[in-house]
Amino acid sequence: MSVQFPLERLKYWLRDRARATQPEARLHASLIAADDLAGLAAQASLLTQLPVRELHDHHAGDWASRWLGRGLDFEESRPYSPGDDIRDMDWRTTARTGRAHLKIYREERQPLVHLVIDRGATMRFGTRRRLKVTQGARVAALLAFAAVNRNGVTGATLWDSADDTLPARHGRPAALALVERAAAPCPPLADPAPGESLHHADRLAALEASLPRGARLVLISDFAWLTAAHEPLLARLAARCDVRAIQIVDAVERALPDLGRVRFHDMTSGQRVWLDTGKRAVRAASQAALLHRLDSQAAALARAGVRHLRLDSEADDLLARLVHG
């Protein structure tokens, strides 16, 4: 039986939080409004009704992992290799074949989900309805509520001016704490510091070192930082964990509108350039360059073995996009 996130209790929590933060809330508003957050909790409750194996309700230890290790379920025997643990010797197969064999077991694991929420400078941008970082917070909220419904364990890392890691925990209070942190006010940031690409490499390496094998890792970002140097790191993560990338994209990052002569600021490189968006040729060339960049990012993630979903920052129905995207 599934455990649905209690919507009424969530509404009381939202009301109390709003009372506690007034009048500061008007100056430093949460990224997600109370009504929207309640709607995301309702969407998460629908996940248990979908005929998808990954979305069924399970208890800790009930999920058979695709990773092999010291579990309880016998999987196969394989020839012994120097360095293997002799406690797992398969003596019957060894006696039958005359060659040392080892028993291999399939691990049972807790349904651990770790969310990475990018709150960097390029995510604090939006031209329609909401910022990209707001959409990222909405995705994180939906996945956190869904994890509660599946009796899962959820942790998070927030990539911010000062990174913050929330340890993996069970239950509704943990999900609410994660959502509140992801939806915290997000004022504009200055240009990224030099060496930001190396910073992201360190972040990916830290994830590889800290996450257990078989964990589900969801990277929520615009991936403006992604370079060829990050591919090997992502590939190692994908070999260790089930990695999914949810790329948040603003409409202007697909095609420039006609705004006349405008000065653009590249928040990744810090460069500034003037473009006459009133000219059709300029808009066409810009759109081709923007789409090429998005396709290159998708190809890099695919080469690394990372599942990829592109999500518009203005999209409302996250459930349909996340399930069918």
| Domains detected in the chain | 7-54+110-324 (3.40.50.410), 65-109 (no CATH)
Using DSSP, state whether 254 is helix, strand or coil.
coil
According to the model, what pLDDT value does residue 156 have?
96
Under-70 pLDDT residues of the chain = 1-28, 47-75, 83, 105-111, 190-197, 266-270, 324-325
Between CA 255 and CA 229, with CA 192 as vertex, the angle to 5 degrees is 80
**Which pLDDT score, from 0 to 100, does residue 261 have?**
85
User: What integer pLDDT is reported at residue 195 of this predicted model?
Assistant: 55
Give me the pLDDT at residue 276, please. 80
Tens digit of each residue's pLDDT (9 = 90 or more) over 268-303: 666 788 878 788 888 888 888 888 999 999 999 999
In this prediction, residue 320 carries a pLDDT of 81
pLDDT attached to residue 66: 47
Amino acid at 148: V
**DSSP H helix total and E strand total for the chain:** 10, 11
CA distance 55 to 43: 13
Whole-model pTM: value is 0.74
Quote the pLDDT of residue 6. Answer: 56
Q: What is the pLDDT of residue 181?
A: 94
Cβ(115)–Cβ(301) under 8 Å?
no
Structure tokens that stand for 119 in this block: 């709150």
Q: With CA atoms as reference, report the closest residue to 152 among 169, 177, 173, 140.
A: 169
Per-residue pLDDT at 25: 45
